């Protein structure tokens, strides 16, 4: 099996908003191999973006990285050392966000914007490489290179952003809801395309998303995050075949199935409800199986069939 490219271990992050300290990511782990698409799924506010941004040294103001280590290739960093993470990972990691159109500079043609990124690492044959990059992302440089961002479609803008991201030949791409702003057809096209680039370049991708069913079509491994805690993580197939965590079960039950339509089961309650105690399962206030011990400590990690589940329902397996 290929070695892991990026491994995040025991990442914890506090928020310092309004003068109060709040633990918003607790014991986050993730490991992605070269050439693999890794899905990171959870509801809005569950901590997907801040976990990944903090892992590459881009934790925003108001956040305090309390613990964790990041291994990237053969190097190891303390997650709290954001400066050194930023300095060292900026060469191997690219980021892709939603709303590419808004992120591109409206006063510079899309061709020039890709060219600028390209110039940071290449000295020769810039024009040839530029045309090639446009071709790789499925765009024609002659048609689009001289257009300004407002003159291209949302899907085309996202491809331009992808060309910028690929121009540095990253080993890892963190795609934070890259298709949320696109229509369903363009969204699938974009993800299929991402998957093929990932294979061709042996590039690792962490794909952050809300939509579990969509992500599951493209990734081989998955982490499901709830209120800053990973609830279930590992290989996609066993998680889908037999979701163990009640939250994963709820998410999968909420996915419409075209082949066998059934009533959808909406998840009740909000991500951050429940008591503000730190050492507890943060899903217990929404959980149909909640019991008193869920409130007493962070649930243990239980390994089963190529995945790990964090839930007291399986804790007898830890000692077994
Ligand atoms: N700069 C910040 N300072 C303090 N708290 C923050 C900051 N940025 C985000 N948070 C808080 O961290 C939590 C997780 O935010 P994050 O953006 O990672 O969620 P997410 O899972 O990416 O959600 P979405 O799907 O909406 O993007 C939220 O409760 C948010 O309010
Ligand atoms: Ni986010």
Q: What is the pLDDT of residue 258?
A: 57
- Asked whether residue 9 is assigned to any structural domain, the reply reads yes
* Tokens read off for 247: 């939250």
Residue 225 confidence (pLDDT): 95
User: What is the CA angle 36-175-115, rounded to 5?
Assistant: 105
Q: For residue 296, give the nearest of 314, 278, 313 by alpha carbon.
A: 278
DSSP line for 168-203? T--SEEEEESTTTTS-HHHHHHHHHHHHHHHHHHT-
Instruction: Determine the pLDDT at residue 66.
Output: 96
Whether 47 is in the pocket of ligand 1, judged by its Cβ within 6 Å, is yes
* pLDDT of amino acid 77: 98
Q: Which two tokens stand for residue 227?
A: 């209120």
pLDDT in tens, 199-258: 999 999 999 998 888 889 999 999 999 999 999 999 999 999 999 999 999 888 876 665
Return the pLDDT at 257. 62
Residue nearest atom 14 in ligand 1 by C-alpha distance: 47
Residue nearest to atom 17 of ligand 1 (CA): 49
What is the tally of structural domains in the chain?
1
**Nearest ligand to the CA atom of 228:** 1
CB 69 within 8 A of CB 77: yes
46 Cβ closer than 6 Å to some ligand 1 atom: yes
- The beta strand positions in 154-265, using DSSP E, are 172-176, 204-209, 221-226, 229-235
Residue 104 included in any domain = no
Residue 208 lies in a domain: yes
- Whether 154 is covered by a domain: the verdict is no
Ligand 2 centre to CA of 210 (Å) is 9
Determine the pLDDT at residue 73.
Answer: 95
* pLDDT on residue 221: 95
Is the distance from the beta carbon of residue 23 to the nearest atom of ligand 1 less than 6 Å?
Answer: no
Q: Is residue 195 part of a domain?
A: yes
CATH number, residue 186: 3.40.50.300
pLDDT at 262: 52
Is the CB of residue 98 below 6 angstroms from any atom belonging to ligand 1?
no
In a domain? residue 293: yes
* pLDDT in the model for residue 253: 81
Q: Which range marks the domain in which residue 190 is found?
A: 4-92+170-319
What is the position in ligand 1's atom list of the atom closest to the CA of 272?
29
Query: Which residues of the chain fall below pLDDT 50?
Result: 264
The ipTM is 0.98
In a domain, 119, yes or no: no
Q: Is residue 23 part of a domain?
A: yes
């Amino acid at each position: 099996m290929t070695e892991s490219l990026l491994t995040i271990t025991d990442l914890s992050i506090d928020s310092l908003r309004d003068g109060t300290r709040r633990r918003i990511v607790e014991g986050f782990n993730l490991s992605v191999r070269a050439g693999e698409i890794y899905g990171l799924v959870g509801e809005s506010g569950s901590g997907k973006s801040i976990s990944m941004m903090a892992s590459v040294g881009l934790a925003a103001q108001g956040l305090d990285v309390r613990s964790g280590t990041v291994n990237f290739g053969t190097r190891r960093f303390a997650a709290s050392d954001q400066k050194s993470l930023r300095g060292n990972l900026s060469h191997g990691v690219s980021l892709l966000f939603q709303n590419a159109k808004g992120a591109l500079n409206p006063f510079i043609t899309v061709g020039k914007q890709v060219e600028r990124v390209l110039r940071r690492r290449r000295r020769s044959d810039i024009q040839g490489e530029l045309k090639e990059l446009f071709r790789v992302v499925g765009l024609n440089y002659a048609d689009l290179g001289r257009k300004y961002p407002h003159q291209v479609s949302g899907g085309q803008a996202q491809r331009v952003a992808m060309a910028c991201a690929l121009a540095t030949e990253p080993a890892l791409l963190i795609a934070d809801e890259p298709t949320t702003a696109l229509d369903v057809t363009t969204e699938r096209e974009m993800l299929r395309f991402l998957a093929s680039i990932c294979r061709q370049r042996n590039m690792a991708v962490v794909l952050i998303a809300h939509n579990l069913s969509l992500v599951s079509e493209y990734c081989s491994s998955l982490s499901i995050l709830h209120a800053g805690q990973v609830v279930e993580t590992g290989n996609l197939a066993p998680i889908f075949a037999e979701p163990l965590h009640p939250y994963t079960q709820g998410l999968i039950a909420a996915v419409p199935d075209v082949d066998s339509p059934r009533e959808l089961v909406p998840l009740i309650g909000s991500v951050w409800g429940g008591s503000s105690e730190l050492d507890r399962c943060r899903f217990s206030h929404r959980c149909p199986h909640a019991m008193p011990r869920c409130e007493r400590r962070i649930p243990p990690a239980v390994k089963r069939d190529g995945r790990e589940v964090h839930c007291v329902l399986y804790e007898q397996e830890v000692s077994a």
